[in-house]
Amino acid sequence: MESIVITDVSPRDGLQNQAIHLSTADKLEFVRLLARAGVTSVEATSFVSPKAVPQMADAADLLPLISQALPQLRVSVLVPNLKGLERARAAGAKEIAVVLSATETMNQKNINMTLAQATAVSVETLQAARAAGLRTRAYLAVAFECPFEGKTPVEAVLRLAAVLHEARADELVIADTIGAAGPAQVRDLLRELVGVLPVDEVGAHFHDTRGMGVANAWAALEAGVRRFDASAGGIGGCPFAPGAAGNLATEDLALMAHQAGFATGVELTALLEAVQFAQDRLQRPLGGRSSTWLRKQALRAAS
Protein backbone atom coordinates (compact mmCIF):
# COMPACT_ATOMS: atom_id res chain seq x y z
CA MET A 1 0.00 0.00 0.00
CA GLU A 2 1.35 3.40 -0.97
CA SER A 3 1.84 5.89 1.86
CA ILE A 4 1.49 9.61 2.29
CA VAL A 5 3.34 11.67 4.88
CA ILE A 6 1.25 14.00 7.03
CA THR A 7 2.89 16.76 9.04
CA ASP A 8 0.43 17.94 11.66
CA VAL A 9 0.87 21.69 12.00
CA SER A 10 -1.79 22.28 14.66
CA PRO A 11 0.73 22.91 17.48
CA ARG A 12 2.19 25.82 15.50
CA ASP A 13 -0.01 27.01 12.63
CA GLY A 14 -3.12 26.05 14.58
CA LEU A 15 -2.38 27.43 18.03
CA GLN A 16 -0.67 30.64 16.87
CA ASN A 17 -4.02 32.22 16.00
CA GLN A 18 -6.06 31.25 19.07
CA ALA A 19 -7.44 33.72 21.60
CA ILE A 20 -6.67 31.31 24.45
CA HIS A 21 -2.96 30.63 24.89
CA LEU A 22 -2.21 27.04 25.88
CA SER A 23 0.30 26.40 28.63
CA THR A 24 3.58 24.69 27.79
CA ALA A 25 2.38 21.57 29.63
CA ASP A 26 -0.85 21.48 27.61
CA LYS A 27 1.06 21.90 24.35
CA LEU A 28 3.31 18.99 25.27
CA GLU A 29 0.31 16.82 26.13
CA PHE A 30 -1.37 17.79 22.84
CA VAL A 31 1.71 16.70 20.89
CA ARG A 32 1.82 13.46 22.92
CA LEU A 33 -1.76 12.72 21.92
CA LEU A 34 -1.01 13.40 18.26
CA ALA A 35 1.95 11.02 18.39
CA ARG A 36 -0.18 8.41 20.18
CA ALA A 37 -2.63 8.63 17.27
CA GLY A 38 0.12 7.70 14.83
CA VAL A 39 1.21 11.15 13.68
CA THR A 40 4.93 10.87 12.90
CA SER A 41 5.72 14.46 11.97
CA VAL A 42 4.64 17.71 13.64
CA GLU A 43 5.41 21.38 13.29
CA ALA A 44 5.69 22.13 17.00
CA THR A 45 6.28 25.84 17.42
CA SER A 46 7.94 28.93 15.96
CA PHE A 47 10.90 31.03 17.00
CA VAL A 48 9.40 34.34 15.97
CA SER A 49 9.12 37.51 18.02
CA PRO A 50 6.96 36.92 21.12
CA LYS A 51 5.53 40.40 20.57
CA ALA A 52 4.30 39.43 17.12
CA VAL A 53 3.03 35.96 18.06
CA PRO A 54 2.69 35.71 21.86
CA GLN A 55 1.13 32.24 21.59
CA MET A 56 4.58 30.90 20.63
CA ALA A 57 6.56 32.72 23.33
CA ASP A 58 7.48 29.44 25.07
CA ALA A 59 9.19 27.90 22.03
CA ALA A 60 12.58 27.54 23.73
CA ASP A 61 10.98 25.76 26.69
CA LEU A 62 8.63 23.54 24.69
CA LEU A 63 10.97 22.11 22.07
CA PRO A 64 13.39 20.34 24.49
CA LEU A 65 10.42 18.85 26.35
CA ILE A 66 9.00 17.37 23.15
CA SER A 67 12.39 16.06 22.05
CA GLN A 68 12.94 14.37 25.41
CA ALA A 69 9.45 12.90 25.71
CA LEU A 70 9.05 11.83 22.06
CA PRO A 71 12.51 11.17 20.60
CA GLN A 72 11.16 9.24 17.59
CA LEU A 73 8.83 12.05 16.50
CA ARG A 74 9.94 14.20 13.58
CA VAL A 75 9.69 17.78 14.85
CA SER A 76 10.08 20.94 12.81
CA VAL A 77 9.95 24.55 13.95
CA LEU A 78 9.35 27.76 12.05
CA VAL A 79 12.13 30.36 12.00
CA PRO A 80 11.85 33.78 10.31
CA ASN A 81 15.54 34.61 9.90
CA LEU A 82 19.06 33.92 11.17
CA LYS A 83 18.23 35.18 14.66
CA GLY A 84 15.30 32.78 14.88
CA LEU A 85 17.51 30.00 13.54
CA GLU A 86 20.09 30.56 16.27
CA ARG A 87 17.38 30.48 18.95
CA ALA A 88 16.01 27.26 17.48
CA ARG A 89 19.46 25.64 17.35
CA ALA A 90 20.10 26.61 20.98
CA ALA A 91 16.85 24.82 21.91
CA GLY A 92 17.93 21.67 20.08
CA ALA A 93 16.02 21.97 16.80
CA LYS A 94 16.83 19.34 14.18
CA GLU A 95 14.53 20.62 11.45
CA ILE A 96 13.48 24.18 10.63
CA ALA A 97 11.05 25.80 8.22
CA VAL A 98 11.04 29.21 6.57
CA VAL A 99 8.10 31.01 4.99
CA LEU A 100 8.34 33.11 1.83
CA SER A 101 5.23 34.79 0.47
CA ALA A 102 4.97 34.69 -3.31
CA THR A 103 3.77 38.29 -3.77
CA GLU A 104 5.25 41.70 -3.14
CA THR A 105 2.35 43.08 -1.12
CA MET A 106 2.00 40.07 1.18
CA ASN A 107 5.64 40.37 2.17
CA GLN A 108 5.33 44.09 2.81
CA LYS A 109 2.14 43.70 4.86
CA ASN A 110 3.37 40.62 6.74
CA ILE A 111 7.04 41.31 7.50
CA ASN A 112 7.66 44.83 6.13
CA MET A 113 10.07 43.56 3.46
CA THR A 114 10.08 43.61 -0.31
CA LEU A 115 9.79 40.28 -2.10
CA ALA A 116 13.48 40.50 -3.01
CA GLN A 117 14.47 41.15 0.60
CA ALA A 118 12.28 38.34 1.94
CA THR A 119 13.67 35.94 -0.66
CA ALA A 120 17.23 36.80 0.32
CA VAL A 121 16.48 36.23 4.03
CA SER A 122 14.85 32.87 3.29
CA VAL A 123 17.79 31.74 1.17
CA GLU A 124 20.32 32.90 3.79
CA THR A 125 18.44 31.08 6.56
CA LEU A 126 18.07 27.85 4.59
CA GLN A 127 21.74 27.80 3.67
CA ALA A 128 22.82 28.47 7.25
CA ALA A 129 20.53 25.72 8.54
CA ARG A 130 21.87 23.19 6.06
CA ALA A 131 25.45 24.18 6.89
CA ALA A 132 24.62 23.47 10.53
CA GLY A 133 23.36 19.99 9.63
CA LEU A 134 19.64 20.69 10.09
CA ARG A 135 16.83 19.41 7.87
CA THR A 136 14.93 22.19 6.12
CA ARG A 137 11.44 22.94 4.86
CA ALA A 138 10.43 26.00 2.87
CA TYR A 139 6.86 27.25 2.60
CA LEU A 140 5.84 29.23 -0.44
CA ALA A 141 2.83 31.11 0.94
CA VAL A 142 -0.09 32.59 -1.04
CA ALA A 143 1.01 30.38 -3.91
CA PHE A 144 -2.45 30.35 -5.46
CA GLU A 145 -4.03 33.63 -4.42
CA CYS A 146 -2.96 36.64 -2.35
CA PRO A 147 -5.45 38.56 -0.18
CA PHE A 148 -4.00 41.82 -1.53
CA GLU A 149 -3.02 41.08 -5.15
CA GLY A 150 -5.48 38.39 -6.21
CA LYS A 151 -4.40 35.31 -8.16
CA THR A 152 -0.68 34.58 -7.97
CA PRO A 153 0.97 34.06 -11.38
CA VAL A 154 2.16 30.50 -11.91
CA GLU A 155 5.42 31.82 -13.33
CA ALA A 156 6.17 33.62 -10.06
CA VAL A 157 5.57 30.44 -8.05
CA LEU A 158 7.80 28.36 -10.29
CA ARG A 159 10.57 30.96 -10.17
CA LEU A 160 10.54 31.24 -6.38
CA ALA A 161 10.26 27.48 -5.99
CA ALA A 162 13.44 27.08 -8.03
CA VAL A 163 15.23 29.65 -5.85
CA LEU A 164 14.22 27.85 -2.64
CA HIS A 165 15.20 24.49 -4.10
CA GLU A 166 18.61 25.83 -5.10
CA ALA A 167 18.99 27.13 -1.52
CA ARG A 168 18.80 23.45 -0.53
CA ALA A 169 15.37 23.21 1.02
CA ASP A 170 14.77 19.51 1.66
CA GLU A 171 11.04 19.98 1.22
CA LEU A 172 9.17 22.72 -0.64
CA VAL A 173 5.61 23.20 0.64
CA ILE A 174 3.17 24.95 -1.68
CA ALA A 175 0.68 26.76 0.55
CA ASP A 176 -2.86 27.85 -0.21
CA THR A 177 -2.64 30.29 2.69
CA ILE A 178 -6.15 31.76 2.43
CA GLY A 179 -7.91 28.68 1.09
CA ALA A 180 -8.80 30.26 -2.25
CA ALA A 181 -7.63 27.53 -4.64
CA GLY A 182 -9.77 24.98 -6.43
CA PRO A 183 -8.84 21.44 -7.51
CA ALA A 184 -8.12 22.27 -11.14
CA GLN A 185 -5.81 25.12 -10.13
CA VAL A 186 -4.02 22.87 -7.64
CA ARG A 187 -3.63 20.05 -10.15
CA ASP A 188 -2.26 22.33 -12.88
CA LEU A 189 0.25 24.15 -10.68
CA LEU A 190 1.56 21.03 -8.95
CA ARG A 191 1.88 19.11 -12.20
CA GLU A 192 4.08 21.90 -13.52
CA LEU A 193 6.07 22.01 -10.30
CA VAL A 194 6.76 18.27 -10.09
CA GLY A 195 7.87 18.45 -13.70
CA VAL A 196 10.87 20.55 -12.69
CA LEU A 197 11.47 19.51 -9.05
CA PRO A 198 11.81 16.04 -7.50
CA VAL A 199 8.26 15.01 -6.58
CA ASP A 200 9.33 13.53 -3.24
CA GLU A 201 10.56 17.00 -2.19
CA VAL A 202 7.22 18.73 -2.86
CA GLY A 203 4.50 19.12 -0.24
CA ALA A 204 1.11 20.82 -0.08
CA HIS A 205 -0.54 22.92 2.63
CA PHE A 206 -4.25 23.66 2.30
CA HIS A 207 -6.79 25.73 4.19
CA ASP A 208 -10.48 24.91 4.13
CA THR A 209 -11.88 28.43 3.85
CA ARG A 210 -14.18 27.58 0.92
CA GLY A 211 -14.71 23.92 1.83
CA MET A 212 -12.31 22.63 -0.82
CA GLY A 213 -9.47 21.38 1.38
CA VAL A 214 -10.04 17.66 0.79
CA ALA A 215 -10.78 18.16 -2.91
CA ASN A 216 -7.56 20.12 -3.27
CA ALA A 217 -5.64 17.40 -1.44
CA TRP A 218 -7.05 14.84 -3.87
CA ALA A 219 -5.96 17.01 -6.81
CA ALA A 220 -2.46 17.17 -5.30
CA LEU A 221 -2.43 13.38 -4.91
CA GLU A 222 -3.37 13.01 -8.57
CA ALA A 223 -0.47 15.32 -9.46
CA GLY A 224 1.90 12.95 -7.63
CA VAL A 225 2.35 14.78 -4.32
CA ARG A 226 2.67 12.53 -1.28
CA ARG A 227 3.58 15.04 1.44
CA PHE A 228 0.88 17.08 3.14
CA ASP A 229 0.39 19.47 6.01
CA ALA A 230 -2.83 19.24 8.00
CA SER A 231 -4.10 20.36 11.39
CA ALA A 232 -5.92 18.19 13.92
CA GLY A 233 -9.45 19.50 14.31
CA GLY A 234 -8.88 22.01 11.53
CA ILE A 235 -7.31 24.44 14.01
CA GLY A 236 -5.62 27.41 12.44
CA GLY A 237 -5.69 30.40 10.17
CA CYS A 238 -2.78 32.73 9.51
CA PRO A 239 -2.98 35.82 11.77
CA PHE A 240 -1.29 37.92 9.07
CA ALA A 241 -3.45 36.89 6.09
CA PRO A 242 -6.97 38.36 5.97
CA GLY A 243 -9.52 35.67 5.14
CA ALA A 244 -7.35 32.69 6.15
CA ALA A 245 -9.72 30.31 7.93
CA GLY A 246 -8.80 26.99 9.50
CA ASN A 247 -6.41 24.47 8.01
CA LEU A 248 -7.41 21.28 6.29
CA ALA A 249 -8.26 18.93 9.17
CA THR A 250 -5.91 16.00 9.69
CA GLU A 251 -8.87 13.68 10.24
CA ASP A 252 -10.43 14.71 6.90
CA LEU A 253 -7.18 14.21 5.01
CA ALA A 254 -6.46 10.87 6.68
CA LEU A 255 -9.99 9.55 6.10
CA MET A 256 -9.87 10.52 2.42
CA ALA A 257 -6.44 8.92 2.05
CA HIS A 258 -7.55 5.70 3.74
CA GLN A 259 -10.65 5.41 1.57
CA ALA A 260 -8.50 6.00 -1.51
CA GLY A 261 -6.14 3.18 -0.53
CA PHE A 262 -3.26 5.19 0.94
CA ALA A 263 -1.64 4.46 4.30
CA THR A 264 -1.06 7.35 6.70
CA GLY A 265 -0.26 5.63 10.00
CA VAL A 266 -2.97 7.75 11.66
CA GLU A 267 -5.54 6.00 13.83
CA LEU A 268 -8.64 8.16 13.55
CA THR A 269 -10.34 7.26 16.84
CA ALA A 270 -7.17 8.12 18.75
CA LEU A 271 -6.82 11.34 16.75
CA LEU A 272 -10.28 12.39 17.95
CA GLU A 273 -8.93 12.23 21.51
CA ALA A 274 -6.29 14.80 20.58
CA VAL A 275 -8.93 16.99 18.96
CA GLN A 276 -11.14 16.72 22.04
CA PHE A 277 -8.22 17.71 24.26
CA ALA A 278 -7.56 20.82 22.17
CA GLN A 279 -11.27 21.63 22.08
CA ASP A 280 -11.49 21.49 25.87
CA ARG A 281 -8.42 23.66 26.35
CA LEU A 282 -9.32 26.22 23.67
CA GLN A 283 -12.96 26.32 24.78
CA ARG A 284 -14.33 26.28 21.24
CA PRO A 285 -15.77 23.64 18.92
CA LEU A 286 -13.20 21.88 16.77
CA GLY A 287 -13.28 19.13 14.17
CA GLY A 288 -13.09 18.58 10.45
CA ARG A 289 -16.02 17.93 8.17
CA SER A 290 -15.83 14.21 8.90
CA SER A 291 -15.66 14.60 12.68
CA THR A 292 -19.35 14.10 13.43
CA TRP A 293 -19.42 10.86 11.47
CA LEU A 294 -16.10 9.69 12.95
CA ARG A 295 -17.34 10.32 16.49
CA LYS A 296 -20.53 8.35 15.81
CA GLN A 297 -18.45 5.48 14.43
CA ALA A 298 -16.21 5.53 17.50
CA LEU A 299 -19.21 5.43 19.85
CA ARG A 300 -20.75 2.59 17.90
CA ALA A 301 -17.52 0.57 18.04
CA ALA A 302 -17.20 1.15 21.78
CA SER A 303 -20.77 0.10 22.58
Catalytic annotation, residues: 238
- CA 39/CA 170 separation, integer angstroms: 20
Helix, strand or coil, per DSSP, at residue 191: helix
**How many Cβ atoms are within 10 Å of 259's Cβ, its own excluded?**
8
Instruction: State phi, psi for 6 to the nearest 5 degrees.
Output: -110, 125
Tell how many helices (H) and how many strands (E) occur in the chain: 11, 10
Task: Give the number of C-alpha atoms closer than 13 A to the C-alpha of residue 48, restricted to the C-beta side.
Answer: 20
**How many Cβ atoms are within 10 Å of 47's Cβ, its own excluded?**
26
Q: Say which DSSP state 96 is in.
A: E
Instruction: State phi, psi for 181 to the nearest 5 degrees.
Output: -80, 160
Question: Which helix (H) or strand (E) is 172 found in, with range?
Answer: strand 171-176
